[in-house]
Amino acid sequence: MHEQQYNSRSFRKRPLKVLRSLNPDFSRPPCALTIGNFDGVHRGHQALLRKLVEGARARQLTSCVMTFEPHPKEFFSAANAPPRILNLRDKLEAIGKLNIDQVLVQNFNSAFAKLNPEAFVSEILLKQLNARWVLIGDDFCYGAKRAGNFSSLQIAGKKWGFEVESIATVIENQERISSSALRQALQDGNMEYAKELLGRTYSISGHVLYGQQLGRKLGFPTINLAVANHFENLKPATSGIFVAQVHGIAAKPLPAVASLGVRPSVDHSGKVLLEAHIFDFKENIYGRIVKVDLLKKLRDEAKYSDLNTLRLAIQNDALQAQHYFKQAHNV
């Protein structure tokens, strides 16, 4: 009994394999599959993904997640699409931490959008992915005009010989844990509730870019992150000034104050940028990928009439952030 428990727990984490395209003529190993946008990879998503891994192991299948890029709502109407919660890099990282074997990042284009439910099953699930067990959320729809649902997928499964199972929505305190609830928490700047829904601190990663060096001139040098291409076209899920911490530079996360938004006082392009002033830090880290945790929102972005007023506002933000870390250290 002890040996069986040890073997079951000694599962060695393998690197997540990311697929950008599939060759229908290439024979793929049979898989356990789930499908969705997984924006946020919140605790509801995590419950589904953990069940997928358990089911895959029990059936000796490869666990596979199919997600979409761009988000289908962005494809059909970018102007009306909801803000993205995570960039693709951060989404893949969050999925990979759950011991998933592979992720297919499906290009959501016009040809894919036109697939009817029958073609979606025969061409994608069977021919390209070789799905033997499909696990979906209770609100799952598929195919052109979202015409397919759980019932039709079950019928297809019986016809083609694959299992279909659904998982109920995770409800907590009479509220559904969903991307919509998480997005609202972020838009409200309620980072504690966002953390509760995520099961982790909300964070954004990106490459450190060369900036205008304005922060340095104001006495508050910053690292500037390219947060992701989609944030250049869509509003981020949250914006404002935050108490933050930065990973990927030192052995421990470094305390900081961060700004996420369009910087209305100094930039009129509308491009979203994440800037972080790391306390007592002067190293050159251009080109590095770092991750910034947004711990607490201090205020909304504001437009200032001159650089001195902006400098005083940043100084006050930095003092509040330092006070936050001092209190946290003393607790």
What's the confidence (pLDDT) of residue 138?
Answer: 81
Per-residue pLDDT reduced to its tens digit, 138-147: 889 999 999 9
What's the confidence (pLDDT) of residue 213?
Answer: 67
Per-residue pLDDT reduced to its tens digit, 176-208: 899 999 999 999 999 999 999 999 999 999 999
| Token digits of residue 198 | 């995520």
* 216-223 mean pLDDT: 80
| Protein fold of 202-330 | Elongation Factor Tu (Ef-tu); domain 3 (2.40.30)
Question: For residues 16 and 130, what is the distance between their CA atoms, to the nearest angstrom?
Answer: 19
Domain ranges of the chain: 10-172, 202-330
How large a percentage of the chain has pLDDT more than 70? 88
What's the confidence (pLDDT) of residue 170?
Answer: 84
* Common-topology check for domains 10-172 and 202-330: no
Question: Residue 116 — φ and ψ, nearest 5°?
Answer: -75, 170
Question: For residues 290 and 116, what is the distance between their CA atoms, to the nearest angstrom?
Answer: 41
Per-residue pLDDT reduced to its tens digit, 71-110: 999 899 888 888 889 999 999 999 999 999 999 999 999 9
What's the confidence (pLDDT) of residue 175?
Answer: 84
Per-residue pLDDT reduced to its tens digit, 257-302: 999 988 766 666 667 889 999 999 988 888 899 999 999 999 999 8
Burial class for 58, CB neighbours closer than 10 Å (0-12, 13-18, 19+)? exposed
Cα angle 135-113-206, degrees, rounded to a multiple of 5: 75
Top CATH class, 10-172: alpha beta
**Strand, coil or helix: 99:** coil
